[in-house]
Structure 1
């Protein structure tokens, strides 16, 4: 049985954050300015109402971290730093150009990860402490937070450098933190997913969060090079002997509100012309626009960017600030299985897994792809290992456009497939002057330099 998660489903089944909190104003001329977070003191959480408020805050913080509000989200940072979008405003060139400058980069990207990490832990503690075990939704609410934490840790591991400070989340010693390596973040992602699976029930209302947890665990396993284990996690019996594979037609979306939690892609790429979808950026970039692939729909006319000079096309599918963003899906599971098959030399299964979502009418409907016959025709085997790898990552790029996965994939092409950065990342002349840099990660907020436990990244390798 498939379980697609559509827009505006009830809060127990989606990241519904509509009207939970008022939006914080943002001066768009200060790219992704810092918000003042809502404060819930530990004493305020000492009860069912307080625990419920902490859970709502954690869900809100995850939404802001992932796909943002008017202060942007990590999917925008990943898009700029990789090859999904280009800059059409003053002030973000260092990120788009891969010449990362931590002294001018807004703290928001790191702070929103820190917020979702710490708030989730506090919310889980409060729910465990104050909500009766007999509550019909207690285990589901806790399991959801564990599952989302797994995804957040994956994204952080894929984007940030090796060796980042994480709070102990000890309210009696709030300054305490630990330096966590990239493998350490991924191991924590697996542990959070396992905690979700151990906490959640097996009823229909819990099942979607079990799928999120399985995909989060498998994503971390892929990042760690555990390809067969990852495929097993999302496949049949991956969640107990009688469990089904994560359905291809299932998806989980982060919801937004046009008034209180606006989709950052709408705000920065549609409602304004600050950024535009890239096309063959820096020689090596994917042809997101000119391919005319129905998974990434781009308008056919341009407008002038916020810098007054750069022509900008408009990405489609985000017509309002309330447009949802896909977080993970059954397509993610199929791509994980395809990669595992390719790693073990099974080109037949690899190709079948790539083609499965392309030929599924329900998947096309969920992605708003026209039902025209042949709109996503079956792929052909290119016949050699190198081109199969290229095709796999191309499919991932189109399926997961603006889903905060691309930088992780580009880094994996270097780290796990031994490809030179000169054939992976945007390179050569930068369209606004100068050349692309060589950075493959970004760093925590410059303010973390005040943290006595943190003295900078251990390294910034892929």
Structure 2
């Protein structure tokens, strides 16, 4: 078992939203091994487990975001009948959508609150404490995901946050993660600091702070990659397994969109209907082209890398840097040289095409679309018919609403 797998298994034991008191009245009573006795937890001694749980809570959210965003930005088509999930493919997600609340909003909220809970503990050696570094990194990344996807955010039951406020909150937490992780100086600490540097570059770029984005991206060392580990545990697949494979194999929800059925680029891996025996949950969705980037429950999910940092630096630097990086990525993936227009807008569109291939199904394209909506191709077109019958035409959403469960029950949310 790898170090990251041990962290995942340890983190799977605790979810801050589900701590319960349990007792045993007689010898016939069997305790639930998935329920933690809250009175038995020592916040200081158990801080590493609590921080690992926060990391795993984020990993759960990441899997959901990668899938739901893929429908919204046209990486995949919704191959199932659930109206709530087809709303994403139609770019018209309602605030009453039950899947939106349970699969998207709740996981990112739990990730954010559990990381915040660790940071609120009084732990020894705070400037070098690895639990602080881990919690700050994944609190910051939770804010990044929320800012890129939701029109308005909320943190720990507080009032509404604008996109700018969410990004500023991300920067604050990620800056802390860089400082503490670097000072910790262990391999884990340095790794978390580099995750945070990629997140910082991403947040600054989304906020329009190009100089800060470039500085953070350049600080990421060559060859850096951080993967969220997954485990093929039949009893814990929804929490520990690869979400994209789960909803390919078990649910039949994800079919590769036509624009990504690219046969000559190793970055887009899929199987045609003739190459597998799976079926879509909704036969009306047409031939089932399954993603093959994540072919097993234990396939890891890349979260942060020097490659992403280099993309951020090139975008923030300008057209010449973008052209150079386009050439680099095309050559690395056996693609012919770019022969298109040299105009800045056209170069940026091609730049995002290469980025979209490199990070297919990695929950990055929605942020790119919100930042540069005219340069990200292959999205569902507003006003066009949906790709299968029985549904309204495609809408024009660019971000997701808060679920009504949040706005109705949050006392700090303004009432109209």
**TM-score when scaled to structure 1?**
0.75
**Structure 1 position 64 matched with structure 2 position 63:** no
Counterparts of 1:3-14 in structure 2, within 5 Å, are 9-11=2-4
Specify whether residues 380 and 333 from structure 1 end up closer, same or farther in structure 2 by C-alpha distance, changes over 3 A only: farther
SS of residue paired to 1:179: coil
**Structure 1 position 405 matched with structure 2 position 361:** no
Greater alpha carbon shift after TM alignment, 76-85 vs 307-316: 307-316
Specify whether residues 446 and 201 from structure 1 end up closer, same or farther in structure 2 by C-alpha distance, changes over 3 A only: same
**Structure 1 position 275 matched with structure 2 position 265:** no
**2:78 aligned residue:** 87
Tell me how far apart the structure 2 counterparts of residues 65 and 423 of structure 1 sit (CA, whole Å): 25
Counterparts of 1:214-363 in structure 2, within 5 Å, are 214-235=197-218, 238=219, 245-247=220-222, 249-259=223-233, 260=236, 261-279=240-258, 287-290=259-262, 292-301=264-273, 303-310=278-285, 311-342=287-318, 346-347=319-320, 349-356=321-328
1:159 to 149, 152, 156: 149
Aligned length in residues: 382
Specify whether residues 214 and 384 from structure 1 end up closer, same or farther in structure 2 by C-alpha distance, changes over 3 A only: same
**2:175 aligned residue:** 194
Contact 1:257/1:321, CA 8 A, preserved across alignment: yes
**Structure 1 position 436 matched with structure 2 position 397:** no
Tell me how far apart the structure 2 counterparts of residues 83 and 221 of structure 1 sit (CA, whole Å): 25
1:213 to 184, 193, 196: 196
2:125 to 122, 133, 152: 133
Q: CA RMSD in A?
A: 3.0
Counterparts of 1:357-436 in structure 2, within 5 Å, are 375-376=334-335, 379=338, 382-414=341-373, 419=374, 425-427=380-382, 428-433=384-389, 434-436=392-394
SS of residue paired to 2:296: coil
Tell me how far apart the structure 2 counterparts of residues 359 and 421 of structure 1 sit (CA, whole Å): 21
Tell me how far apart the structure 1 counterparts of residues 78 and 53 of structure 2 sit (CA, whole Å): 31
Cα deviation, residue 201, structure 1: 2.9
Contact 1:15/1:63, CA 8 A, preserved across alignment: no
Tell me how far apart the structure 2 counterparts of residues 17 and 380 of structure 1 sit (CA, whole Å): 45
What are the ranges of 5 or more consecutive residues in structure 1 without an aligned counterpart? 1-7, 25-34, 68-72, 168-175, 239-244, 280-286, 361-373, 458-462
2:65 to 57, 71, 74: 74
SS of residue paired to 1:89: coil
Specify whether residues 224 and 134 from structure 1 end up closer, same or farther in structure 2 by C-alpha distance, changes over 3 A only: closer
SS of residue paired to 1:312: coil
Tell me how far apart the structure 1 counterparts of residues 170 and 105 of structure 2 sit (CA, whole Å): 17
Tell me how far apart the structure 2 counterparts of residues 44 and 178 of structure 1 sit (CA, whole Å): 33
Specify whether residues 199 and 278 from structure 1 end up closer, same or farther in structure 2 by C-alpha distance, changes over 3 A only: same
**1:113 aligned residue:** 108
**2:93 aligned residue:** 100
SS of residue paired to 2:212: helix
The structure with the greater share of residues assigned to helix is 2
CA offsets 1:93-126 (integer angstroms, 9 cap, x no match): 1121112122133222111111011100112333
CA offsets 1:135-190 (integer angstroms, 9 cap, x no match): 9xx6233212212222211111011113x2222xxxxxxxx522211100000111
Specify whether residues 184 and 58 from structure 1 end up closer, same or farther in structure 2 by C-alpha distance, changes over 3 A only: same
**TM-score when scaled to structure 2?**
0.83
CA offsets 1:182-203 (integer angstroms, 9 cap, x no match): 1000001111111112212353
Cα deviation, residue 56, structure 1: 2.7
Specify whether residues 18 and 54 from structure 1 end up closer, same or farther in structure 2 by C-alpha distance, changes over 3 A only: closer
Specify whether residues 354 and 309 from structure 1 end up closer, same or farther in structure 2 by C-alpha distance, changes over 3 A only: same
Specify whether residues 96 and 134 from structure 1 end up closer, same or farther in structure 2 by C-alpha distance, changes over 3 A only: closer
What are the ranges of 5 or more consecutive residues in structure 2 without an aligned counterpart? 21-35
Cα deviation, residue 37, structure 1: 3.9
Contact 1:142/1:199, CA 8 A, preserved across alignment: yes
Contact 2:245/2:294, CA 8 A, preserved across alignment: yes
Tell me how far apart the structure 1 counterparts of residues 202 and 415 of structure 2 sit (CA, whole Å): 26
Cα deviation, residue 59, structure 1: 1.8
SS of residue paired to 1:158: helix
Cα deviation, residue 246, structure 1: 3.1
Contact 2:349/2:376, CA 8 A, preserved across alignment: no
**1:51 aligned residue:** 47
Contact 1:254/1:324, CA 8 A, preserved across alignment: yes
